[in-house]
Amino acid sequence: MEDRIVTVKDLVNHTALRVAWGEDHLDRPITVPDIARPGLQLTGFLDYFEPRRVQLLGVNETEYVKTMSTEQKYTIFKKLASPMTPAFVISTDLKIPSELIDVAKSCEIPVLTSSLTSSRLLSNMTYYLGAQLSERKSLHGVLIDINGIGVLLTGDPGIGKTEAALELIQQGKARLIADDRVDIYAEDEQRLVGAPAEVLTNLMEVRGIGIIDVLQTYGAAAIRDHTTIVLNIDLKD
């Protein structure tokens, strides 16, 4: 599959973040799901600094910064502001160091803020980026949600996967996730999640009828954008 691209703008839109500075630079790419808490880095220890990570500063980090001189702040923030750094995030509506804003402006790196705590933000961002940046594989089939259970229907072309799913949707017993192409990724070590290909979202192709927009035809209650796959039913003739 093609490489997935996640931008800082995507992160802002999905994780309760606000832009403190850098509205014009939200197209910066995020390529790794891990979030950095630059504690040791603020002391000058940069041997294992990962510049591709979003840099999250919470209460501990901002309080430590207050003990530094202005010159020290500029020096360390310049080292953290790599050309690959996607964004700086300040949690808990903490006051953003002016030196960080200055360095971010010079490097065109967005500075984001939120009322959420560092631990909550870390969880939200990691969950979102993990899902978006995980390796995905496409499988031919139909994925539906039945009472919260993700059911993947597979089988030879023409075996009746789409027709079976549509009948359940019409009866209000299932919700459509994806038809024809199901994108699957590992949410963690135990769970596989299925989602539709972007160009096929909400669509079903039924033999003899054509393409149906499930959202327009049956309403928002008939669709979901993803589900954890619990059961795979392989239809046979």
Q: pLDDT tens across 107-156, in order?
A: 999 999 999 999 999 999 998 998 888 888 999 999 999 999 999 999 99
Q: Which one, of 84, 67, 18, lies nearest residue 76 by Cα? A: 67
Residue predicted with more confidence, 136 or 57: 57
- The pLDDT of residue 14 is 94
User: Tokens standing for 46?
Assistant: 């940069």
pTM of the model: 0.75
User: Looking at domain 6-133, what is its CATH homologous superfamily?
Assistant: HprK N-terminal domain-like (3.40.1390.20)
Length of the chain: 237
* pLDDT of residue 1 exceeding 70: no
Q: Mind listing the pLDDT tens digit for each residue in 67-106? A: 999 999 999 999 999 999 999 999 999 999 999 999 999 9
| CA 25/CA 43 separation, integer angstroms | 28
- The pLDDT of residue 123 is 94
212 pLDDT band, cuts 50/70/90, is very high
Q: Mind listing the pLDDT tens digit for each residue in 185-208? A: 987 778 899 999 989 999 999 988
- The pLDDT of residue 87 is 98
Residue 225, amino acid: D
Q: Mind listing the pLDDT tens digit for each residue in 20-55? A: 999 999 999 999 999 999 999 999 999 889 999 999
Residue 120, amino acid: R
Tokens 């299932």 found at: 174
- Sketch the domain layout of the chain as residue ranges: 6-133, 136-235
Contacts of 84 (CB under 8 A, 6+ apart): 51, 52
Residue 223, amino acid: I
The backbone torsions φ and ψ at residue 119, rounded to the nearest 5 degrees and listed phi first, read -65, -40
- The pLDDT of residue 3 is 58
Q: What percent of the chain has pLDDT over 70?
A: 98
Locate the DSSP E strands across the chain.
6-7, 18-21, 29-30, 35-36, 54-57, 88-90, 111-113, 136-146, 149-155, 175-186, 192-196, 203-206, 210-213, 227-235
Torsion of CA 111, 112, 118, 121, to 10 degrees: -140
Instruction: Report whether CATH 3.60.70.12 matches the domain 136-235.
Output: no
